[in-house]
């Protein structure tokens, strides 16, 4: 146990027969359960796990590949059945340094957070050695996830090194969380809808000889679609259905006015191009809705940022 909580490490693994032993052997002693989910690996990942004598291991093998998100969801459910209080994610490729695990667990066991996530980019020096296109991609994806999830104080959304309380997990509709590489992004959206306080934890990245299997041509459209749908789902549940908020009103009216003003502005431009003189009233018909709509959208954004769940609310395990 750790700080009075039973800890389970969920390890999604796909083609990790070379690295999975390292993950198991370096798992800290305070981790009570190691739930390894072999996501239908074509190699001998399961065989290597079965040969390991660590009594904490629970091995689950998928009959069909479900993606990293699907493997994590399976592991979370198994860990809950084992009686875990906190679940941490440890990648099967040994990228996640267990030295920093206490920093994650402390936030959810004693500091009142329901979810803690590692952040590789906690300082400007963190980007050193990374190609510029990856830096740009990480920044754009982080800000898109901030907008969709409502966790404006979090960064590095694709980082899967996380710790979460199982009483939070029980409230998450796991059947409806994305099961591929967009799992982390979708989970944040679901957690925000539930208003779970979350925190970033600075953790340096660890890179080895692993080869990424991510196919950008498939992942990027999937992420864009998920974030768009997730944004409107979050707005509906948090600011309309459960508690009608001025954020929803400002957002909808702002979009309507901005689109109307933009449409009129485009029409005026075509009229001018056709040598038709635009009247002052016509110009105002475009400018006024655009200005009002923009101001409303900025106000909605400001209120949404202020509503980001960041204040600790959960009691420490050691006090229960």
Under DSSP, the state recorded for 275 is T
- Helix, coil or strand: residue 122: coil
- Helix, coil or strand: residue 200: strand
Per the document, the length of the chain is 320
Please tell me the predicted confidence (pLDDT) of residue 283: 87
The angle, 0 to 180 degrees and rounded to 10, between the axes of the packed helices 280-306 and 246-273 is: 150
Bridge partners of 57, per DSSP, are 34
pTM attached to this predicted model: 0.90
Under-50 pLDDT residues of the chain: 210-212, 319-320
| Domain 7-239 CATH assignment equals 3.40.50.10860 | no
Please tell me the predicted confidence (pLDDT) of residue 121: 86
What are the domain boundaries of the chain? Answer: 7-239, 245-306
Task: Check if the beta carbon of residue 206 is closer than 8 Å to that of residue 95.
Answer: yes
Task: Check if the beta carbon of residue 3 is closer than 8 Å to that of residue 318.
Answer: yes
Phi then psi for residue 142, to 5 deg, are -65, -45
Token representation of residue 28: 């800290």
Instruction: Please name the residues in contact with 172: beta carbons below 8 A apart, sequence gap of 6 or more.
Output: 187, 190, 191, 194
- Helix, coil or strand: residue 59: strand
Under DSSP, the state recorded for 240 is I
Phi then psi for residue 240, to 5 deg, are -125, -65
Bridge partners of 58, per DSSP, are 35
Burial of 126 (0-12, 13-18, 19+ CB in 10 A): middle
Please tell me the predicted confidence (pLDDT) of residue 102: 96
Distance CA 188, CA 197 (A): 11
Please tell me the predicted confidence (pLDDT) of residue 320: 47
């Amino acid at each position: 146990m750790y700080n009075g909580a039973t800890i389970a490490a969920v390890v999604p693994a796909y083609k990790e027969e070379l690295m999975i032993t390292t993950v198991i052997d370096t798992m800290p002693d305070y981790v009570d359960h190691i739930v390894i989910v072999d996501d239908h690996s074509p190699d001998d990942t399961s065989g290597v796990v079965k040969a390991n004598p660590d009594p904490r291991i629970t091995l689950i093998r998928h009959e069909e590949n479900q993606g990293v998100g699907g493997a994590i969801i399976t592991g979370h459910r198994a860990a809950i059945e084992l009686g875990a209080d906190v679940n941490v994610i440890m990648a099967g490729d040994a990228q996640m340094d267990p030295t920093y695990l206490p920093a994650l667990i402390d936030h959810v066991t004693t500091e009142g957070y329901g979810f803690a996530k590692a952040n590789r980019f906690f300082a400007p020096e963190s980007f050193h050695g990374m190609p510029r296109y990856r830096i740009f991609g990480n920044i754009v994806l982080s800000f898109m996830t901030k907008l969709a999830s409502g966790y404006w104080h979090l960064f590095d959304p694709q980082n899967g090194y996380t710790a979460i309380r199982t009483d939070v997990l029980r409230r998450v509709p796991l059947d409806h969380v994305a099961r591929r590489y967009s799992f982390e992004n979708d989970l944040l959206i679901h957690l925000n809808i539930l208003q779970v306080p979350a925190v970033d934890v600075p953790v340096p990245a660890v890179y080895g000889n692993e080869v990424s299997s991510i196919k950008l041509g498939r992942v990027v459209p999937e992420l864009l679609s998920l974030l768009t749908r997730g944004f409107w789902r979050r707005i509906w549940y948090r600011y309309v259905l459960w508690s009608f908020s001025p954020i929803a009103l400002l957002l909808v009216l702002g979009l309507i006015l901005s689109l109307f003003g933009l449409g009129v502005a485009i029409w005026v431009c075509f009229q001018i191009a056709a040598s038709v003189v635009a009247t002052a009233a016509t110009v105002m018909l475009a400018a006024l809705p655009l200005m009002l709509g923009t101001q409303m959208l900025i106000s909605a954004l400001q209120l949404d940022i202020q509503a980001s769940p960041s204040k600790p609310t959960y009691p420490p395990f050691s006090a229960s």
